[in-house]
Each structure stands twice: as structure tokens, then as C-alpha cells.
Structure 1
Amino acid sequence: MNITVARLTVRGLLGRRRGLLLLAVPALLLILSVVIRAAAGQDESTTVNILGTLALGTLVPLLGLIAGTGAIGPEIDDGSIIYLLAKPLPRWKIITTKLAVAIGCTVVFAAVPTYIAGVILFGNFENLALAYGVGALIAGVAYSSIFLLFGVITRHAVVVGLMYSLLWESIVGNFVSGAKTLSVQQWALSVARKIADPGVVSSSVHLPTAIPLLIVVTLGATAFAAVRLSRLTLASEE
């Protein structure tokens, strides 16, 4: 990791409107959790629905999109990435540093609030809060790498990322049986199912399948982003 690149990336993410979004989305989840707990009491089914659908299905991919594309997309759009690429710094180190910052954002603004929401809704019973918190962490890592790649390969990364989240993860990945195997949300639910008490969390993907897919997608997206960034340098120099 390069400290200078990390500092600039954090400043770019938190110093713009993205910073407000990063705060607003988890705040909405926590407020909603307090309201639901006050209205419905401690209910397992409600907790599973809120954490599985709203947190893992909406909050985590949205925050991964904000953090992943925001870590590098604006620099490519305004051309300031050229100044960074002019430094004698390996391109893979730029990508991994920005990915680490994006993952850190998803941990702080997605995984931790998901865990806290679980505690608010259901306490520490049946390991539900911990299960979904870890699931949000796992999904955040995968989403960050995918959306960082989008930020490198297209100037419309936010639009492409929204289409991916809404169409694939929310619709196709949830309702088309064959596509569920390739859903980050289902992979995260598989991990959550392993942590929670038996029979509490359900997933369409088994853990021995989910873990390798998570690793392959995360590493593959990161490697491809580094390669594309190197090509961007060559194109700019030409």
C-alpha cells in the first residue's frame, strides 16, 4: 500500500458529496432498525428480512458502488490520474491501495452498521447480527473490487454499477435459480448461514462454492483493473 495514494483517495471519497452518501445510507438503516424494533419488537423473521434484503441486498452494493467507483473514477474522468501515473509507482500498487481504501469504507459504513442494526433488531441471539455483519464485510470486499474495475474500464461506471446491482443482484440473482450461483449477495448469505445458528439464514449457494467464487472474483477484478490501468498509461503517453 502507498500511503500518499491512500491519503488522496480517502480525501476524494470523504471530501465530496460521496462522503454525505456514505453517511446517509447507513444512518437510514440504523434509524429504520430503531423504528422497526420499537414497533414490532424482537422478531427473528423481521430481522432476517431487513438484514438480508435491505442491508445485504441494497445498502452493501450501493456503498460498494460509491466507494469502488469513487476511489478512482473521478480521477480518470477529470484527467488527474495522469499525474499519479507519472510517478514511479507500480500500477498494481495504485489499484490495491485504492481497493484497500474502498474496502475500508465498506467496513466502516456497511459492515459495522449492519452488525449494529442486527443488535438493535434482535440483540446477539442466534448470532444473527454477527452473521450478517461478516456477510456484509465479505460482500463489501467483492463489490469494491468489481466497482473499482468498472471505474477503470468505463467513464459510466456509476450507471453500469447501478444496472449491475439493480438488474443482476436484485432481480436476476434473486429470482433466477441458475444465476443465483453468480450472485455476490448469495455468496455473502452463504457465509452468514455458516455463522448463524442452523436454519436461521438461507442461501442458494453452498459455502464450498461461495468461498472460491468470492476469491476468484475479487482477485480477478483487481488484477484486470491493474492491467487496464497500465494500458491507460500507455494510451496517455502515446
Structure 2
Amino acid sequence: MYNATVARLTYRALLGRRRALILFALPALLLLISIAVRALTGADDATANAILGGFGLATMVPLIGVIAGTGAIGPEIDDGSIVYLLAKPVKRPTIIMTKLIVAVGVTVVFSAVPTLLAGLLLNGNSQQMAVAYTVAAAVASIAYSAVFLLLGTITRHAVVVGLVYALVWETLFGSLVPGARTLSVQQWSLALAQKIAGEGAITSDVGLPLAVVLLAGVTVAATWFAGQKLRTLTLAGDE
């Protein structure tokens, strides 16, 4: 379920100049904020929690997921170049799985790694906060990549839809509206962070067993639907 050629082409597309600038900009901003806050206020658990949760997990991770997930396949479908890939003797589920693996890898590198560094800068991993948010970011990266990869297969406006979801649902409603929190990838991943962190350091509105089921279910379902959607794409001359 992995094709090296497809992976290489996907990495090349995701790490092109324009997308790479955005991918680097968000983690750089998180690290700059962390350095400035640590220099001005010193190590503080509450501040670290607010930055890692409010900016890192709620904003940076889903936005990077949008870039990586939709960028793994959306542009190829939009410009029609996907037909050249589909014409190759590669099974379509293999194409989806390969692109998902690449999207997850890129999202984890550009979100989980900076989250760990930011956590260490902010409070030196006090109450295991840096590690907890890193695990949450990594797990959320998997779900976001699958969801946004699916979006890339079903709509030409995947980036716009993804940004609306990331900024409105996850950042705004997922953080502020109680009822919406249970349907938020952010809250599901926070349940894992809560388990790792010190008592009361991080809270989630979703219990850990339910969060694990929802994360796994959404990832599997989104990947399956993306594969099914790709199966429906036909090449010129296919009847």
C-alpha cells in the first residue's frame, strides 16, 4: 500500500517553494512567540498551556494539516495531471495510502516537532506539558491529514473549505462552544494530552476511550472514502 514514485512526486509537490514558505512560517511563528514569552515572563505552566493549546494545537496543527492534506492530491485533480498518475499500473487505494502517509509525515514534522521545541522553551516540559502536546499534535496530524486529503478528492475548493473548518470550527467553535467540542479533532487529541500531563494541567471535554475511537474512526473513514472517490475518476477513453 505504498509506492515510492507516488511518494516522491507528492513530497515534491508539498515542499515546493510556495507551500514550503507557509509550512515553515507557522512553526517559526510559534517558536518566536515562545522565545519572546519565555524572555519576558519566564517559565510559567499556565502561559505554556495557553500558547501550546490555543495557538499550537488549535490553530497551527489544523492549518498545516490543510496545506499538507489538500496539497497531497488536490492540485493534481484541479489541473488534470492526476490522469497521468491513474494511467500507471498502480492501484488507486495505494495512491491514496501513499499520499496519506506523505501528508501525515509532513504534518507531523511541521507541527509536532515545533510543538515539542516550543514546550521546552516555554516551561521546560514541566508537568510533561511539552510531551503531552507533542503527542496530541502528532495524533491530530493523522486525523487532519486524512480529512483534508478526502476534501482534496471531493471538491475543487478544498483549501477554502479546509481553512473554514480549521479556523472557524476547530479554532473558534472547538475552543469556545461546549457542544461543538465533542466533535472536534482538537478536543479528541487533547484527551490524550490530558492523560500524559500532570493532574489538571490539560483538560478535554471528551473522555479518552471515546477520543481514541473517534480519532481512529474518522481517519479510517476519511481514507476509505477518499479511495472510493478516486476509484470513480475515469480517464479519457475509459468506458
Q: Output the TM-score relative to the length of structure 2.
A: 0.97
**TM superposition shift of 1:235:** 8.0
For 1:5, the equivalent position in structure 2 comes to 6
- 2:206 aligned partner, one-letter code: V
For 1:154, the equivalent position in structure 2 comes to 155
**TM superposition shift of 1:47:** 0.2
Note the 1:50-199 alignment, pairs <5 A: 50-199=51-200
For 2:232, the equivalent position in structure 1 comes to 231
**Alpha-carbon distance in 2 for matches of 1:35, 1:25:** 15
Unaligned runs of 5+ in 1: none
**SS state of the match for residue 237, structure 1?**
coil
Q: Is structure 2 residue 46 aligned with structure 1 residue 45?
A: yes
Once structures 1 and 2 are overlaid, which stretch shifts more, 8-17 or 169-178? 169-178
- Whether the 8 Å contact between 1:82 and 1:236 is mirrored in structure 2 is no
- Whether the 8 Å contact between 1:9 and 1:101 is mirrored in structure 2 is yes
For 1:203, the equivalent position in structure 2 comes to 204
Q: In the superposition, relative to structure 1, how do residues 236 and 20 fare at CA in structure 2: closer, same or farther (>3 Å)?
A: farther
| Moved segments of 4+, more than 4 Å | none
Question: Sequence identity, in percent?
Answer: 61
**SS state of the match for residue 233, structure 1?**
coil
- Whether the 8 Å contact between 1:149 and 1:221 is mirrored in structure 2 is yes
Q: In the superposition, relative to structure 1, how do residues 223 and 40 fare at CA in structure 2: closer, same or farther (>3 Å)?
A: same
**Alpha-carbon distance in 1 for matches of 2:238, 2:62:** 35
**Alpha-carbon distance in 2 for matches of 1:235, 1:216:** 35
**TM superposition shift of 1:236:** 7.5
**TM superposition shift of 1:95:** 0.5
Unaligned runs of 5+ in 2: none
- Whether the 8 Å contact between 2:57 and 2:186 is mirrored in structure 1 is yes
**SS state of the match for residue 233, structure 2?**
helix
Number of aligned positions between the proteins? 238
**Alpha-carbon distance in 2 for matches of 1:139, 1:130:** 14
- Whether the 8 Å contact between 2:83 and 2:235 is mirrored in structure 1 is no
- 2:63 aligned partner, one-letter code: L
- 1:152 aligned partner, one-letter code: T
**Alpha-carbon distance in 2 for matches of 1:12, 1:68:** 12
- 1:20 aligned partner, one-letter code: L
Q: In the superposition, relative to structure 1, how do residues 235 and 201 fare at CA in structure 2: closer, same or farther (>3 Å)?
A: farther
- Whether the 8 Å contact between 1:67 and 1:102 is mirrored in structure 2 is yes
**SS state of the match for residue 225, structure 2?**
helix
Q: What's the C-alpha RMSD, in Å, of the aligned pairs?
A: 1.2
